[in-house]
Amino acid sequence: MPHFDVVIVGTGSGNSILDERFAGWDVALVERGRFGGTCLNVGCIPTKMFVYTADVAGTPAEAAKLGVDQTLDHVRWRDIRDRIFGRIDPIAESGREYRIGHDDNRNVTVYLGNAVFSGHKELTITPEDGGVPETITADQIVVAAGGRPVVPDIDGLAELPYHTSDTVMRLEKLPRRMTILGGGFVAAEFAHVFSSLGVEVTVVARSGSLLRAEDAGISARFTELARHRWDVRLHTKVVHAEQDGQVSRLQLEGPRGEEVLETDVLLVATGRRPNTDQLDVAATGLQTRDGGHLVVDEYQRTTVDGIWALGDISSPWTLKHVANHEQRVVQHNLLYPDELVASDHRFVPHAVFSSPQIAAVGLTEQAARERDLDYVVATQDYSDVAYGWAMENTTGFAKVLADPRSGTLLGAHILGPQAPTLIQPFIQAMSFGLDARTMARGQYWIHPALPELIENALLKLPLDASPAQ
């Protein structure tokens, strides 16, 4: 039975653990799918390439208010799709070839197949080519096996040719109609992509608003704007689904009563789940939380000594920048076991690349209220700063929460153009302890540029006259 110093399960962020410092280690790398993980192949990278294309396709709709008449003549879907995956697929393949055949990886054994725990620090791997399963052991194991889309239990859904975020970007042709189940960020981003490319989009969500995990003000504004772009059905659930030729027929229950919705493509975007259930983690004694995430401590150690975890399989944040941070923590702790470092999850930012864009870091107002914190809040509209005025943007805004005495920033939320970029100064300020007063007046703000949105929001905060000592 082969034994290794370390086995890494998953080649997303886990693959980045290995560098020249591991040259003397006997390493195994296990991957059951494409090298590169979710982000490279079916997540952040391809989706944002589609989003940028959608943003460009949407410019004619925004240009008229500026006195510029444009038309969108045609969308070459296959050219768009093939351009995007023509860049991504070779990266995944070259990563695989590098680990298997390059001299840098002479100490690395790559297993292409599905791994499950079969004993204490023991994995049994079934090769993807159908070969004989092989069992391996290791002193240490890193579980970085990611997650997958959730498919709800809907009567008849399993018989439909539905899509998830893993498959919808490789459609052969654009449909006339698409129905998206879900009201989260995946649903919001794909609704933007396909509607901008000319598809009639219907969004069906069980909740009363879209992006309900966002600050309530952000969620309400986004939902309001979404209704102008898509057919949005809130407080609505699918109770039955059936296929009739090329058409999917969904039976809905909602405020309109019972009704039937027909669609050409059904996209299920109802969340993601960790892959712990596919690894039989109980066989090696690993504990999971509600929802299936592996239990880890601040050092990314699981409940079994010598087994570590990172990314979507253990983290509640399904974010690549979180997985990359945790990867660096695990990498250090493997190399320097007597000098452990902890993950820093204090200020985890996120963004939604829809239309409008959204970004946030820190507490929502509802979370601050639930914690019974003393806070003040300020909002600043895009339309009231010079560049937002130039853009004729009447819907975007920034919202900031802070402690009224110290000026400590508690949360920041932006809805509007370039929100994922504009949020970065808030992330930096919160990470390094910069208070609202110092942030607003301790530096220059380029005029007239969009960061004045941040400056003005900070200046509007009704902070106490004298900072607390």
Binding site as annotated, residues:
48, 182-189, 271, 312
Q: How far is CA 252 from CA 155, 162, 239, 260, 356, in A?
A: 12, 16, 6, 6, 28
Distance of alpha carbon 192 from alpha carbon 58, whole angstroms: 9
Can you tell me which residue has the tokens 């930096």? Answer: 428
Determine how β-strand 177-181 pairs with β-strand 200-204: parallel
Catalytic hit among 102, 235, 345, 447: 447
Q: For residue 41, give every residue at least 6 positions away whose Cβ sits within 8 Å of its Cβ, in sequence order, or none.
A: 33, 34, 88, 92
Alpha helices in 185-336 (DSSP H): 185-196, 216-226, 320-335
Annotated binding site for NAD(+): 182-189, 271
Alpha helices in 208-361 (DSSP H): 216-226, 320-335
Rg, C-alpha atoms of the chain? 24
Q: For residue 431, give every residue at least 6 positions away whose Cβ sits within 8 Å of its Cβ, in sequence order, or none.
A: 346, 347
Annotated binding site for FAD: 48, 312
Determine how β-strand 108-119 pairs with β-strand 134-143: unpaired
* CA 445, chain centre distance (Å): 30
Distance of alpha carbon 445 from alpha carbon 308, whole angstroms: 43
Residue ranges of E strands in 198-319: 200-204, 231-233, 237-244, 247-254, 257-263, 265-268, 272-274, 307-309
Distance of alpha carbon 75 from alpha carbon 193, whole angstroms: 12
Helices then strands (H, E): number in the chain? 13, 20
Residue 308 C-beta-side C-alpha neighbours within 13 Å: 31
Tokens of 360: 């946030």
Residue 228 annotated in active site: no
> Where does residue 9 rank: exposed (0-12), middle (13-18), buried (19+ CB within 10 A)?
buried
Number of other CB atoms surrounding residue 451 within 10 Å = 17
Provide the annotated active-site residues: 447
